[in-house]
Amino acid sequence: MNKPFVGKPMWLCALLLAAQLVSAQASAPPPAAEQQAKAWLGAFNSGDRATLLEFLKTNRPSAVERIDGEMGFRQMTGGFDLEKTEESTPTRYTALVKEKDSDQFARMVVEIEPDAPHRITKFDLMAIPRPAEFAIPRVCQPEAAAALSKDLEHNTAADRFSGAALVAKNGKVFFEQAYGLADREKKIPNKLTTQFRIGSMNKMFTAVSILQLVQAGKIQLTDPLGKYLTDYANKDVASKVTIHHLLTHTGGTGDIFGPEFEAHRLELKTLQDYVKLYEKRDLKFEPGSQWEYSNYGFVLLGAVIEKVSGQSYYDYVREHVFKPAGMTSTDSLPENVSVPERSVGYMRPDPGPWQPNTETLPYRGTSAGGGYSTVEDLFRFATALLAHKLLDAKHTDLLTSGKVDTGRGDKYAYGFFERDNNGMKCFGHGGGAPGMNGDLDICPESGYVIAVLANLDPPAAQRAADFVAARLPLK
């Protein structure tokens, strides 16, 4: 019988035993949950439909019918790199992963059946703010601009970006460039003057308008909706939901998208048309009790602006927001009106080629979103806001200071998100829908304004804005 420790000092025996234990642990296979998570990652990253489908059939049958969505997600992300294991037990595995084609991090959670073949019972992949331990080093301004240029060129070549980007410091633009095609059929290139649909970014203009009326003493933030829309059908909504609730998405008023919208998409031509369609709905929750993004809430704010000002929403924002800011290329004209420099939006089914988003568009944009603008006009808007050309200092601060935790790592102010990107504090708003994506970040402490617009699905523009915001110097 082999006795390796006989005749050796006790301290050496202990050392050899510890080494054997470490060696045994190192050679032991990882727990089954970790094996399954890494097997999914390998199949997903392969980009091969047959490989992923075979894995899902064996290990995650409930996802087989969503294979097209999985492949579309793979096309969007480029796959994931495993950055850090957080938890690994026989039946549960949690890890941090990063998209290969962007800076975006996510938390992957995989739970499995305890017995072979250990099928996956739970699979979550949730986007999270970039962890501090993986913070991107900030570089000098020229280097950040060069990195952004390279990133946009790369993503344009890969058909993941088409649009325009602008970055300014203390009121001076140091990066602006357009990429891709405004119209793929006619081969019309995007330019800095190209007008892109901006989705929910209109909410910033609506919130500024409301605060202008507050500043003028014509609206009180604590007033109930019914004070202004006196004939609103649901009296519970009219009496409980305040202007503050609507501005912060805490009113419980729900959304506008769904079967009703699809059935009446081209019939909804005015804000009142939307109100008539949805005003009988009950509250989703008690106003002020939680945060839930509500496009309908901002439609109601537009109706309030019309009631108080005596102007249509569109005339009001043209006169009181766009004109004083010098925004000459921003509006919400109907889709059937010719706007020569308005780009065609392109959406991509899961999976499939890009195709025009024409059949998804409403009759025209509303106070909740759907207008169009340029990166230069968004820069003018940011400049005017910071210079107090739209509101005085007190009401500008009231407008842009975070009030409600969204649960996503940022706060919502009045029509603006307030966020901290690795030490760079900014406020602004994004917008996204099939065939359109945009983002505006206004960062007063560092002096930066970042505006990116794209005529492709989200997150084309958001990724570019986040990319440069993470790399710019803080001073």
Tell me: the pLDDT tens digits for 62-81? Answer: 999 999 999 989 988 999 99
pLDDT > 90 fraction of the chain, expressed in percent and rounded: 89
Instruction: Give the pLDDT of residue 9.
Output: 61
pLDDT > 70 fraction of the chain, expressed in percent and rounded: 94
Contact assessment for residue 253 and residue 246, using Cβ atoms and an 8 Å cutoff:
yes
Mean pLDDT of the 51-71 span: 94
Q: State the Cα–Cα distance between residues 370 and 363, nearest whole angstrom.
A: 10
Predicted TM-score (pTM) of the model is 0.89
Band of residue 252 on the pLDDT scale cut at 50, 70, 90: very high
Contact assessment for residue 460 and residue 161, using Cβ atoms and an 8 Å cutoff:
yes
Q: Long-range contact list for 102-105, CB < 8 A, 24+ apart?
A: 102/77, 102/78, 102/459, 102/463, 102/466, 102/467, 103/130, 103/136, 103/463, 103/466, 103/467, 103/470, 104/77, 104/130, 104/459, 104/463, 104/466, 105/129, 105/130, 105/131, 105/134
Burial class of residue 215 in the structure, from the number of CB atoms within 10 Å of its CB (0-12 exposed, 13-18 middle, 19+ buried): middle
Contact assessment for residue 105 and residue 131, using Cβ atoms and an 8 Å cutoff:
yes
Instruction: Give the pLDDT of residue 17.
Output: 64
pLDDT at 23 over 60: no
- List the one residue out of 139, 261, 275, 211 whose CA is nearest residue 414: 211
Mean pLDDT of the 440-450 span: 97
What is the largest distance, in Å, between two alpha-carbon atoms of the chain?
100
Lowest mean pLDDT across 15-29, 114-128, 129-143, 236-250 = 15-29
- List the one residue out of 257, 260, 265, 269 whose CA is nearest residue 334: 269
Tell me the one-letter amino acid at 99. E
- List the one residue out of 139, 82, 76, 140 whose CA is nearest residue 106: 82
Domain residue limits, the chain: 32-134, 142-469
pLDDT at 18 over 90: no
Band of residue 236 on the pLDDT scale cut at 50, 70, 90: very high
- List the one residue out of 202, 227, 214 whose CA is nearest residue 398: 214
Q: Long-range contact list for 177-186, CB < 8 A, 24+ apart?
A: 177/149, 177/152, 179/152, 179/153, 180/156, 180/455, 180/456, 182/341, 182/343, 182/344, 182/455, 183/343, 183/344, 184/344, 184/346, 184/354, 185/344
Q: State the Cα–Cα distance between residues 424 and 413, nearest whole angstrom.
A: 17
Retrieve residue 348's tokens. Answer: 């991509």
Interval 375-402: pLDDT, tens: 999 999 999 999 999 999 999 999 999 9
Q: State the Cα–Cα distance between residues 97 and 231, nearest whole angstrom.
A: 52
pLDDT at 25 over 60: no
DSSP label at residue 403 = -
Band of residue 11 on the pLDDT scale cut at 50, 70, 90: low
Contact assessment for residue 383 and residue 171, using Cβ atoms and an 8 Å cutoff:
yes
Instruction: Give the pLDDT of residue 282.
Output: 97
Instruction: Give the pLDDT of residue 336.
Output: 93
Instruction: Give the pLDDT of residue 1.
Output: 44
Quote the distance between the C-alpha of residue 453 and its chain's center.
13
Band of residue 421 on the pLDDT scale cut at 50, 70, 90: confident
Tell me the one-letter amino acid at 471. R
Are the folds of 32-134 and 142-469 the same?
no
Quote the distance between the C-alpha of residue 174 and its chain's center.
25
pLDDT at 2 over 50: no
Mean pLDDT of the 107-125 span: 96
pLDDT at 24 over 60: no
Domain 142-469 has CATH 3.30.930.10: no
Helix axes 375-386, 393-400, angle to 10 degrees: 120
Instruction: Give the pLDDT of residue 349.
Output: 82
pLDDT at 21 over 70: no
Torsion angle in degrees (nearest 10) through CA of 362, 367, 370, 374: 150
Q: Long-range contact list for 257-261, CB < 8 A, 24+ apart?
A: 257/295, 261/362
Instruction: Give the pLDDT of residue 350.
Output: 75
Retrieve residue 393's tokens. Answer: 């200092």
pLDDT at 213 over 70: yes
Domain 32-134 class, CATH top level: alpha beta
Band of residue 22 on the pLDDT scale cut at 50, 70, 90: low
Q: State the Cα–Cα distance between residues 299 and 203, nearest whole angstrom.
A: 9
Contact assessment for residue 450 and residue 439, using Cβ atoms and an 8 Å cutoff:
yes
Helix axes 202-215, 393-400, angle to 10 degrees: 140
> What mean pLDDT value characterizes the chain?
94
Q: Which residues pair with 126 in a beta bridge?
A: 107
